[in-house]
């Protein structure tokens, strides 16, 4: 069975309250000078922040801690789900799940709240798992590097629009805002980090999908007592109507979408180049949804499982055919439902694998190289002024 390829990869953000300097926004600070980039002023509001030459460097602010004041983890220990060192997790807690070469690993939000970055090695593969709690974005990057050794990221102590700004430990002057993941300063300027597939879902659902999964051990950090990883440090911050920790730039109030939904509404954001669309969880219903959509010139499938708190996006294009999907029942206890394409009658599971029908064993759906993120709506609006949203599932 070969999987559908996800056209986008989620990004989630996490940190501790100290990372933001409490609830009083600090003044903007200029990063260390680097040639002509120093003192770059904020441009007039634009549609996004993907153009490095116009990136508003003076909108970087101190998070209230020094570089590495939030300690990223490197090569942590992993344990089985039933281990005492996994007891800090409840079934409803969220994890970032990665499956490489048949081996599944879970990186809990609980770990990300306190470390934000995990540099990991899975067999011969290196990856960097990042989570920022202020914007609600979690992203996984390829850590293989390109001729300069393994990529390892650290927490710079800076924020942009409440979002984690990472630095490259190989080249100390290189900065990457997590949500754009393009170098904005130093040796890696204009270099884009490579996203990897990731599934954000509940710990219970990830265990159901991958019974043999490993998970980051609470004993592997050597920094905090295990019970610390059971407590969310941002009391009240996840309330849908609560304000962002720091002011957003530009102010998203000129986008009418901002008045339709609360600022902390969780959405699945899908971006192709500079065109983005948001799929608010509340608009996809309180159960399950299968959405056939088109973004820019790309055909997209979105599947949503409310109980699992999981939303995934796939390409609907296979060769010169565009597939249309419907929801069907499941005989596999790992999935509450599956999808079937109307053109060939092939049944697919929610991880994109063709289980039965004409396309079983055929090539996977093509990857249109989109970006998929789970993010709090207000932060996505600030970064994409032309953002559209799903109104409702018909």
**Considering its fold, how many domains does the chain have in total?**
2
The kind and range of the H/E element at 376 are: strand 371-376
For residue 5, tell me if it sits in a domain: no
The four Cα atoms 290, 293, 299, 304 give a dihedral, to 10 degrees, of -30
Question: How far is CA 240 from each of CA 9, 130, 237, 243, 264, rounded to the nearest angstrom?
Answer: 24, 22, 8, 9, 4
Same domain, 156 and 301: no
Q: How far apart are CA 93 and CA 279, in angstroms?
A: 21
For residue 235, tell me if it sits in a domain: no
User: 39 lies in which domain range?
Assistant: 17-216
Same domain, 196 and 286: no
* Of the candidate ranges 11-25, 67-81, 83-97, 367-381, the one whose mean pLDDT is the lowest: 11-25
Same domain, 164 and 282: no
For residue 241, tell me if it sits in a domain: no
Per the model's pLDDT, the better-predicted residue between 128 and 247 turns out to be: 128
Q: How far apart are CA 326 and CA 65, in angstroms?
A: 49
Same domain, 331 and 193: no
Pairing assessment for the beta strands 117-122 and 73-74 based on DSSP bridges: parallel
Domain termination site, one of 216, 241, 275? 216
Q: Per-residue pLDDT averaged across 32-52, rounded?
A: 48
Domain termination site, one of 216, 241, 263? 216
Per the model's pLDDT, the better-predicted residue between 224 and 374 turns out to be: 224
For residue 222, tell me if it sits in a domain: no
For residue 12, tell me if it sits in a domain: no
Same domain, 194 and 319: no
Same domain, 200 and 88: yes
**Backbone phi, psi, residue 106, to 5°:** -115, 135
Same domain, 281 and 198: no
Per the model's pLDDT, the better-predicted residue between 11 and 358 turns out to be: 358
Tell me the Ramachandran region of residue 2: left when phi exceeds 0, alpha when psi lies from -120 to 50, beta otherwise: beta
Tell me the Ramachandran region of residue 122: left when phi exceeds 0, alpha when psi lies from -120 to 50, beta otherwise: beta
Same domain, 290 and 206: no
Same domain, 30 and 156: yes
For residue 352, tell me if it sits in a domain: yes
Task: Work out the percent of the chain whose per-residue pLDDT is above 70.
Answer: 80
For residue 237, tell me if it sits in a domain: no
Domain termination site, one of 162, 194, 216? 216
pLDDT band at residue 27 under the 50/70/90 scheme: very low
Query: Which residues contact residue 168 at a Cβ distance below 8 angstroms, ignoring those fewer than 6 apart?
Result: 151, 152, 153, 174, 176, 183, 186, 187, 188
* Of the candidate ranges 145-159, 176-190, 337-351, 358-372, the one whose mean pLDDT is the lowest: 358-372
For residue 190, tell me if it sits in a domain: yes
């Amino acid at each position: 069975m070969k999987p559908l390829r996800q056209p986008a990869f989620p990004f989630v953000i996490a940190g501790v309250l100290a990372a933001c300097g409490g609830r009083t926004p600090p003044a903007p600070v200029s990063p260390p000078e680097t040639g002509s980039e120093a003192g770059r002023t904020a441009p007039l509001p634009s549609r996004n922040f993907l153009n490095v030459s116009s990136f508003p460097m003076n909108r970087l602010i101190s998070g209230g801690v020094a570089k590495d004041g939030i300690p990223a983890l490197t090569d942590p220990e992993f344990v089985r789900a039933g281990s005492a060192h996994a007891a800090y997790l409840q079934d409803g807690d969220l994890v970032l799940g990665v499956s490489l070469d048949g081996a599944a690993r879970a990186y809990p939000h609980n770990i990300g709240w306190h470390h934000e970055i995990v540099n990991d090695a899975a067999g011969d593969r290196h990856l960097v798992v990042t989570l920022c709690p202020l914007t609600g974005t979690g992203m996984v990057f390829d850590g293989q590097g390109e001729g300069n050794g393994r990529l390892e990221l650290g927490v710079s102590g800076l924020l942009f629009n409440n979002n984690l700004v990472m630095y490259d430990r190989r080249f100390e002057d290189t900065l990457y805002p997590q949500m754009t993941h393009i170098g904005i300063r130093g040796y890696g300027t204009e270099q884009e980090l490579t996203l990897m597939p990731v599934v954000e879902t509940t710990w219970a659902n990830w265990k159901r999908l991958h019974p043999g999964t490993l998970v980051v051990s609470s004993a592997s950090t050597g920094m905090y007592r295990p019970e610390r990883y059971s407590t969310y440090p941002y009391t009240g911050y996840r309330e849908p109507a609560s304000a962002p920790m720091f002011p957003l730039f530009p102010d998203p109030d000129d986008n009418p979408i901002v008045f339709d939904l609360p600022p902390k509404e969780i959405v699945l954001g899908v971006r192709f180049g500079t065109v983005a669309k948001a799929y608010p969880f509340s608009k996809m219903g309180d159960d399950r949804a299968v959405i056939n959509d088109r973004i820019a010139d790309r055909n997209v499938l979105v599947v949503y499982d409310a109980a699992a708190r999981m939303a995934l996006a796939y390409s609907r294009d296979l060769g010169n055919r565009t597939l249309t999907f419907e929801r069907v029942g499941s005989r596999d206890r790992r999935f509450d439902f599956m999808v079937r394409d109307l053109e060939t009658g092939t049944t697919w599971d929610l991880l994109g694998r063709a289980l039965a029908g004409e396309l079983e064993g055929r090539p996977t759906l093509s990857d249109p190289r989109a970006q998929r993120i789970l993010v709090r709506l207000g932060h996505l609006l600030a970064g994409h002024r032309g953002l559209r949203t799903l109104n409702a599932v018909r």
